[in-house]
């Protein structure tokens, strides 16, 4: 059996979903640009460097969902997909996902970004299964906090094992492959049989070269 795992941001997508989401909300006037832009850029920089605290990072972005109901957010996130996400998906990423789907792999998107703004992206790729950071619900909307294990760094591996266990499966049963760009996904890449670096950041590139991991470019 073949299991293929795809990171989203800077792997299948030319950009970061969380950062783009915030830029989009500022464009629409749903976030105060003067107050938020610098904090958004700082968070993105520290995440890419692997130096930001996990809970701080997750709460910062999930916090943008507080204040509106699910019904109010729905047209916003669909416009976000159409205008901000789809144009940033490289054809090479589409082809790579399709190749694994057509081969009959069990394909999973695994992302640190919250489910609410990434589940439409997974569906756009034709990927049925998604592991993402979960946003806590509150009434008809979101509390602005996360719930459960964050789908970040070691959490991606823990969530993967839990997801497979719920299906009556285990990672060792699979000929597994993972694609990622980020040093944050080093635990995930080390957990699978075939780690693949996609336009890797400098830290991951150095480790991957020493380990002999293959590297490809989609961007």
Among candidates 187, 186, 193, 176, which has minimal Cα distance to 208?
A: 186
pLDDT in tens, 153-204: 999 999 999 999 999 999 999 999 999 999 999 999 999 999 999 999 999 9
Say if CB 98 and CB 126 are below 8 A apart.
yes
pLDDT digits (tens, 9 = 90+) for 55-85: 888 888 899 999 899 999 999 999 999 999 9
**What are the residue boundaries of the structural domains of the chain, listed by start?**
2-216
Residues labelled catalytic:
7, 9
Superfamily of domain 2-216: HAD superfamily/HAD-like (3.40.50.1000)
Candidates 67, 25, 16; CA nearest to 43 is 16
């Amino acid at each position: 059996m073949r299991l293929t795992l795809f990171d989203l941001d800077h792997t299948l997508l030319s950009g970061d979903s969380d950062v783009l989401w915030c830029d989009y909300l500022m464009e629409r006037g749903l976030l105060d640009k003067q107050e938020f832009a610098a904090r958004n850029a700082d968070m993105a920089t520290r995440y890419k460097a692997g130096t930001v605290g996990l809970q701080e990072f997750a709460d910062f972005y999930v916090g943008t969902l507080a204040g509106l109901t699910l019904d109010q957010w729905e047209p916003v996130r669909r416009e976000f997909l159409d205008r901000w996400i789809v144009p940033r998906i490289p054809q090479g990423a589409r082809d790579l996902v399709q190749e694994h789907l057509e081969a009959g792999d069990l394909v999973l998107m695994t992302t640190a970004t919250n489910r609410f703004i990434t589940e439409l992206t997974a569906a756009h790729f034709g990927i049925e299964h998604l592991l993402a950071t979960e946003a806590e619900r509150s009434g008809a909307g979101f509390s602005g906090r996360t719930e459960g294990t964050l789908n970040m760094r070691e959490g991606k591996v823990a969530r993967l094992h839990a997801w497979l266990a719920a299906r009556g499966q285990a990672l060792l049963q699979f000929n597994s492959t993972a694609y990622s760009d980020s040093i944050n996904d080093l635990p995930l890449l080390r957990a699978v049989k075939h780690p693949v670096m996609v336009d890797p950041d400098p830290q991951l590139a150095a480790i991957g070269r020493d380990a002999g991991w293959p590297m490809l470019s989609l961007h």
